[in-house]
């Protein structure tokens, strides 16, 4: 049964608290170990289900064809499991930077799958939704499962963990970094030894993409060099956003208050349970 009442769904950002690249496979994909944690800063999708059989996306991202929009792609994939008259109007509030390593596009797509599964009454399991989502990107399952986790393989093998829910200052450089470009770079570290989860959670964390990104993107290097004077600072994902770790929002805000004008940033709270999960748990 369709649930046609409009609901505003969160699509949270994520941080990669560490990222290690272990090897490159023959098919070109990279084996990695990374730790995903959510933050309380989100895009939002307001979804109104209907019986039109059409997917209408308002506020589409400028310069991005509808057919390439991950929200639209996710909805069309899910329609294969839905009645022919299943439709929806989706309105996007875009708060997360594109190409920043915060997972905004993947999170938007994952929220689309979870939300339309609810609105259309499909009753697909989390595992089924994740199987659909991975067709759009290796990091979609983490947003669908909604729990902080170590990801392995190409990012699809998830093991829930409970890292500290720290406060962060997340800085956004005025540049977009292409993940495929970074993963094709000859200088990228690709031989970090795999470690068991206890080792991974107890060691000082690093991001194997950071040296490559710093060398090729001066604006990212400038951010890291300024912030690292105040707190541990790393690249998230393949960048370009970087994050500094603090024990409290007050401490993060104090550094943000003294930041130079060229440094654009926001404070955020780490979350081991996704805001999307929390909303879903309140719905019947």
Which pLDDT tens digit goes with each residue over 11-41?
999 999 999 999 988 887 889 999 999 999 9
- Given a contact cutoff of 8 angstroms between Cβ atoms, the answer to whether 120 and 81 are in contact is no
Q: Which domains does the chain have, with CATH numbers?
A: 7-162 (3.30.230.10), 167-271 (3.30.70.890)
pLDDT attached to residue 33: 96
- Average of per-residue pLDDT values in the chain: 93
Which regions in the chain score pLDDT beneath 50?
Answer: none
For residue 208, what are the contacts with CB-CB under 8 A and spacing of at least 6? 19, 20, 21, 188, 189, 190, 192
pLDDT attached to residue 28: 77
d(CA 77, CA 54): 13
pLDDT attached to residue 169: 98
pLDDT attached to residue 147: 97
pTM for the model: 0.94
Residues recognised as catalytic: 14, 139
pLDDT attached to residue 60: 67
Q: Cβ of 126: how many Cβ atoms within 10 Å?
A: 15
pLDDT attached to residue 112: 98
pLDDT attached to residue 249: 95
């Amino acid at each position: 049964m369709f649930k046609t009442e409009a609901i505003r769904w969160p699509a949270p950002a994520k941080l990669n608290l560490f990222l290690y690249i272990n090897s490159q496979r023959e098919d070109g994909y990279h084996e990695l170990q990374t730790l995903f944690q959510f933050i309380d800063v989100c895009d939002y999708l307001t979804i109104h289900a209907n019986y039109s059989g059409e997917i209408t996306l308002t506020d589409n991202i400028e310069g991005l064809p509808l057919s390439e929009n991950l929200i639209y792609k996710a909805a069309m994939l899910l329609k294969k499991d839905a009645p022919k008259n299943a439709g929806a109007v989706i309105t996007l509030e875009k708060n997360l930077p594109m190409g920043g390593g915060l997972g905004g596009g993947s999170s938007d797509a994952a929220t689309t799958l979870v939300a339309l599964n609810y609105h259309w009454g499909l009753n697909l399991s989390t595992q089924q939704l994740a199987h659909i989502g991975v067709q759009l990107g290796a990091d979609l399952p983490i947003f669908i499962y909604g729990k902080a986790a170590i990801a392995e393989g190409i990012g699809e093998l998830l093991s829930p963990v409970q890292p500290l829910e720290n406060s962060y200052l997340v800085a956004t450089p005025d540049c977009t970094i292409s993940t495929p470009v970074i993963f094709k770079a000859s200088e990228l570290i690709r031989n970090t030894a795999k470690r068991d989860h206890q080792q991974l959670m107890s060691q000082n964390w690093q991001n194997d993409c950071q040296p490559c990104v710093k060398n090729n993107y001066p604006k990212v290097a400038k951010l890291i060099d300024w912030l690292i004077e105040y707190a541990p600072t790393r690249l998230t994902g393949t960048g370009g956003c970087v994050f500094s770790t603090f024990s409290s929002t007050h401490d993060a805000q104090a550094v943000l208050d003294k930041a130079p004008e060229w440094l654009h940033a926001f404070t955020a709270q780490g979350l081991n349970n996704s805001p999307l999960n929390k909303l879903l748990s309140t719905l019947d």
